[in-house]
Structure formats: structure tokens, C-alpha cells
Structure 1
Amino acid sequence: MLKLGFNLTRHTGVILKRMMSTQEQEVLFETVNNAGIITLNRPKVLNTLNENMACMILAKLQEWEKSKNLVIIKGTGDKAFCAGGDVKAAIDKVKGPRFFHVEYNVNYLIGKYKIPYIAFINGITMGGGVGLSVHGRYRIATEKTVFAMPETKIGAFPDVGGSYFLPRMQVNLGLYLGLTGERLKAKDVVKAGIATHFVPSKRLYELEKLLYRCNNDVEVRALLNKFNEPSEEFSLAPNIKHINYCFAASTIEEIIERLEKVNNEWSAKTLQTLGQMSPSGLKLTLRAFQRGAQLDLPQCLRMEYRMICRGLHNNDFPEGVRALLIDKDNNPQWNPKTLAEVTEDYVESFFKKLPEEQELKFFDSNL
């Protein structure tokens, strides 16, 4: 197992110095009145989050929590808020743990942020982009929002706190979304509880300008409620009872049995989707959710960090990234190949504590 044990504060400082010398900033920071605005600025790659960006965001959020009335985070362009983390770099055995260490610290800080944190999740919001938004106090969806946690498709599991917020969704919806990578769009994102408000994208500019004038959480909430449009019927409503029944099972094998019993168009599609996923990714996701339902966010992030570090030294996560994102042959060679071959010992090995110097440390753990 990789030796990590780096100093997060020192590492962030080095990244910031390096970033200040680059011509085009990957994250833009601005202050208007007493509001801090973060803009993810990599539109050509759908504002994908990398280690440099995570370091900059972590440092700025720490600073602004003590000095601002609120923080707004958004993405450049209309296509994406943030399509995820830079997983091509993340599968590197040295860079990967470092990236996740910083990223999970950002998720942790957002989850306990003292001032209003408002994410404009306009466009694609997946993986790491969900981590930058869902733990915050306010998440604003638009008609362009597309949410998904598609990690099982690349041989991993929904991280960035996925084991915390997904099991807490109603009617086993979170496990369904986490295992299948199913996409939710527009007002469905509010119905599922991922977003707190729905505002048409053409009104975001006006909303942002008015937020600059807000002095406290009461004013922020009142303004967001004024702009919010009521949700329509949930597109998954016709199958919610089936989702609740099938994904209440305690094993992947039993989930599949229940889907076969339902035997309708939705269950057939869901079975086909699960059949494409990494068998170990499915079992790891289920186990992480079963445990995460009883843990707080910091505990979930520590658990996920152990899992992701171990995933870098096993087959499926690097292989899934290769097959879907690097070579793009869409033909991952999963190992273990079948659910039956994913043993209890194999699953449990991902959850064991790392050596102390390699464990996830939060930036304020020594305070």
C-alpha cells in the first residue's frame, strides 16, 4: 500500500503558489459586497475538478468562512456545473490518494460550513461536482441540470460523501441511483432531494445579483424561496414502489431476484444496466451504503478514502477508467468477473483501516 503521509496545509500552499503563476485560472474567485463567488473555469472539459482546483477551493473556503456573509459556487458555461473529478489523474497510485485527500477535505468543509453555501448546479453535475454541491446548504437546479453518480460503471463506487447522502434518500432511491448511475434531470433533481430549489437558468443572473445584497441566512432563504418554482410529478413516480421493494434487499443477488420478479420494462432495463457494472463495484457500493447510513459525513469520507485507496491497487477502478475514458473501447475486463466471485473477504478488505500515516486527515483535525 502506498505511503502517503503528506502535510495538507503545506501541500495546498505549494499548489496555490504554482497556480498563481499560470496564465488562465482554473478557478475564479471574486468578492461582491460581502459575498464570495467561486467559478469553476474549465468549460472545455465540463469544469472537471482536479487537484489544483480542489486545493484552491479549500484554501479560499477556509478564508471566506470567517469573513463573508455567503458563498456562491457555479461553473463557466451552460453545459456543466462540474462533470466530476479528473479520474484519469485520480487512478495514478501517487497522485490519486493526494487528489482524493484534498477533495474529501473540501466535501467535509462544505458539509459543516457556517455561512450559507449556495451551489448553482446548472448543467451536468456528476461525481466530484455532486461533492462540491450536495453537502452545502442550498443547491439550485435548472432545466439544464443533469445529476448522476456513475462510479459503478468505472469499477468504483459513489464517493465524495455518496455513502452519506444517498442512503438517506427516501424509498431506497439513493441505492438505486448509486448502483445504476441513473440520471436525473431538471425538477426531478429537486424531487429526489439532491437540489433544494428549482430556478430557470435565464433567472440565475438576476438571482445571483440579488444574493450579493443578502446579509444573513434568513435573507438568503427568503430570496431563494421567492425564485423557486414548484416541482412537477417525479418521472420515476410510476416505479417508486418497485424501487422501494427491489432495493430494500440486503444483497445484490437478492436485488436482482426481485427485479426479475417485477418483470416490466423498467426492471428489464435496470437488470441490463446492473449487468454492465463492475460486480465488485456493486457489492462495495451496497456495503458502503449499509454502513454509511449509520455514520456521519466525516466518518463516511474516512471510510470512502480507505476504499478508494485500496481500489487503486485492485483491478476494476483503473480498468474501468481505461475502458470508458482512456482507450474508450467500452469493454472493461472486470476481475472478479461475476458477483459469485466477489467474496466476503474481498469486499471487507476495502474497509480495513489504512496505516495511521495514510488515513484521511481533515485540515482542522489538530485544532
Structure 2
Amino acid sequence: MDFGGGEEIRFERLGAAGVVTLTRPKALNAVTHAMVLALTRALSAWADDPEVALVVIKAEGRAFSAGGDILHIYEAGRAGNPPVDFFADEYSLNLAIARFPKPYIALVDGIAMGGGVGVSFHGSHRLMSENAVFAMPEVGIGFFPDVGGSYILPRLKDRFGLYLGLTGARIRQGDAVWSGLASHAVQQADLEAILTALAESGDADAVAARYAQTVPCETASDTLEAIARHFAPDDLDETRSSLRRGAAAGEDFAAATLDTIARRSPTSLRVTHRQIIEGAAIDMAACMRMEFRVVNRMLAGHDFYEGIRAAIIDKDATPVWRPATLEAVTQDVVDAYFAPLERELDL
């Protein structure tokens, strides 16, 4: 089946399943504009196809998808042509997945970050193997957890999503199931059998339940309690104050988290905190419109390009953020990222 996308993404019909495979293993299946458009076309066709009972998305290689094609975004932005259309189409796809009228099953094996999260974790069934890793590390490159992060993260248990968004911490299947991010934990060895069973039966609930494993959290209970306590405030400065008190009292988690946050982009931290707090009270479509406003401003700013320079171009790991401190990122600066656009996202 050809919905476009060339050699970057493959579409097949296996029994009752429409199967999507990300086929850029050498690039860790980073999501491109062509892949976004192809998957959008496939979902549109399969939504109305009576022979397709469900959709499965999986990937080749050791990563599910390590994000979007940020080097292309960096180069286009530096050339004065920020790829706003890419983000508009990507965010529309994220919403289409969330609204898809049939089961949408992501078989996540390997790392899922950024754009890879957007094409998987908005689905109805999110199956993570023991090899799967989830992260939204955007604050470390001067960006923000987009692709629907403003919808997913605030809905995780006990403020866990706020912690993940502000630190970029990586988690595995046990934490993902506990927090509500993953719907099921499964074994990598069972993935082919799961796909076969889905294609044969068309019953996502029954198949997922059959292969689901009971797994413990990887994060210790006292750390989960500390996350819930320190990230309880709806104000970032109050969270920092709580962490400082914890660090002064000898709490290792608080000290380590303070150190992590101190190395992130101050602008990204302020914007990310606001998007997660606001995202808790609005629906997915409103979240995507909000993120589109933010991404337009990020692409016109400084920190994203500086973060990519430090991480990927020069690889010196010493970004110079502007502004350099959280105190310098004032309320009016943050407000500007969320202000209405002349061209809003059309959903």
C-alpha cells in the first residue's frame, strides 16, 4: 500500500490490521515531514475502510523513534525558513491519532522521544516492551515537550508528567504503566505474536490483555513520593523552593533534580511548566493550538538553535542560554509565547 513517504515508512494490510512500520533505523526512525503526511493519508483511508478493524504502528531497528528530524529543522530555521508547515501537519496528525475512531496500537520497542511519542502515545493502546524507553528531553535543547506533550504529561499520575517535562528524565515500562503513560507492558519476544493475533482477531483489548505483563515501577516509592510533593505547586518557583528545602535537609533526589533543572534552558522551563499546567484543563485540540503558538515563537527565538548547536553541531554540551536565568524570564516574556497568532493552527 502506498500512501507516500517513500522508503521512510511502510504500510501493509495484514488481515484485519492496517500496519505502519517506521523504516529509518539508521536515523533512529526520526519522523520527517513526508512520514507525517503519509501516515495522515493512511489514517484517513483506514478510518472509513470496513476491512480495517484496527491500526498497528511499529518500527524497524533498535529505536522506536528518537524524535523529529531536528537537524533539518535547525538548518531550515537558520536559513530563515523555519518549517512551520511541518509542525502544523505534525500536530494535526497527533490530533488525528487521538481522535482515530478505531483501536490504534503502538508497539513501542526501544526509545520513543519527541515526534516518536506523538505518533504512538496518543493511541488507544500503548504497549511497551522491556526494551522501551520514554523521554521528553526538549528542555535540554531549548525547546519544549510538543507533539501533544501538553495533553499527555499533566494527565500522568501524581505530578509525574510535570517532573518528566521539566527534567527530561527517561523512564521504562514499569514507570510508564504505573503513571498511566503505557496501557500495557509486554515482552519483546511476544511482539510478533501480538501483531499476528491482532491481524487475525481484530480485537485489540483481548490481545493486549492476553500478553500483558505485571511489572513493578523502576522508580523507588520514596522518590515517587518526593516527586509528588515537590512538583505539587502550580508555580515553578515554589517547586524550586521546595527542592531547595529538600536538598538542604540532605535529600539526594532534591539536590540532583535542582542540578538537572539548573542546566536546562530557563525559557524552556518557564514555557514548559505553563503548557503542562494549562494543558491539564483543556482538550487535545486546544493543546495542539497552544503548542503551535509556542513553536512559532521558539523557531523565531535563540535557545532552540543554541541547544541544537551545543548538542548536535559542535557537540560541546555547553549551551549559552538567553536569558541565562529563570529570574530573567519574566511573565511578559512567557506570555508572548502563548499569545494568539495571525495564522492559528487550523484543526
Query: Normalization by structure 1: what TM-score?
Result: 0.89
Match of 2:68 among 73, 85, 88: 85
2:154 aligned partner: 167
AA partner of residue 344 (structure 2): E
Residue 229 of structure 1 aligns to a residue whose secondary structure is: coil
- RMSD of aligned Cα (Å): 1.5
1:319 aligned partner: 306
In the aligned structure 2, how far is the partner of 1:232 from the partner of 1:135?
A: 23
Contact 1:164 1:292 in 2 (8 A): yes
Distance 1:236 1:176, change over 3 A: farther
2:22 aligned partner: 40
1:3-82, aligned counterparts within 5 Å?
16=4, 19=5, 25-67=7-49, 68-77=52-61, 79-82=62-65
Residue 166 of structure 1 aligns to a residue whose secondary structure is: helix
2:195 aligned partner: 208
Q: What per-residue deviation string (whole Å, max 9, x for no partner) do you get for residues 104-139 of structure 1?
A: 111000000001100011100111111111110001
Residue 83 of structure 2 aligns to a residue whose secondary structure is: helix
AA partner of residue 13 (structure 2): T
In the aligned structure 2, how far is the partner of 1:65 from the partner of 1:222?
A: 21
Contact 2:105 2:204 in 1 (8 A): no
Residue 130 of structure 1 aligns to a residue whose secondary structure is: helix
1:247-266, aligned counterparts within 5 Å?
247-263=231-247, 264-266=251-253
1:269 aligned partner: 256
In structure 1, runs of 5+ residues without a counterpart are: 1-12, 363-367
Contact 1:156 1:317 in 2 (8 A): yes
Q: Percent identity?
A: 39
2:210 aligned partner: 226
2:181 aligned partner: 194
Q: What per-residue deviation string (whole Å, max 9, x for no partner) do you get for residues 314-355 of structure 1?
A: 111111111112221111110011011101110000001110
Distance 1:61 1:236, change over 3 A: farther
Q: What per-residue deviation string (whole Å, max 9, x for no partner) do you get for residues 178-220 of structure 1?
A: 00001101322212211111111011011111110123xxx32
Cα drift, residue 34 of structure 1:
2.6
Contact 2:172 2:218 in 1 (8 A): no
AA partner of residue 98 (structure 1): D
Residue 154 of structure 2 aligns to a residue whose secondary structure is: coil
In the aligned structure 2, how far is the partner of 1:185 from the partner of 1:74?
A: 17
Residue 225 of structure 1 aligns to a residue whose secondary structure is: helix
In structure 2, runs of 5+ residues without a counterpart are: none
Match of 1:331 among 315, 318, 340: 318
Contact 2:266 2:326 in 1 (8 A): yes
AA partner of residue 304 (structure 1): E
1:348 aligned partner: 335
1:139-150, aligned counterparts within 5 Å?
139-150=126-137
In the aligned structure 2, how far is the partner of 1:271 from the partner of 1:146?
A: 23
Query: Normalization by structure 2: what TM-score?
Result: 0.94
Higher mean displacement: 254-263 or 85-94 = 85-94
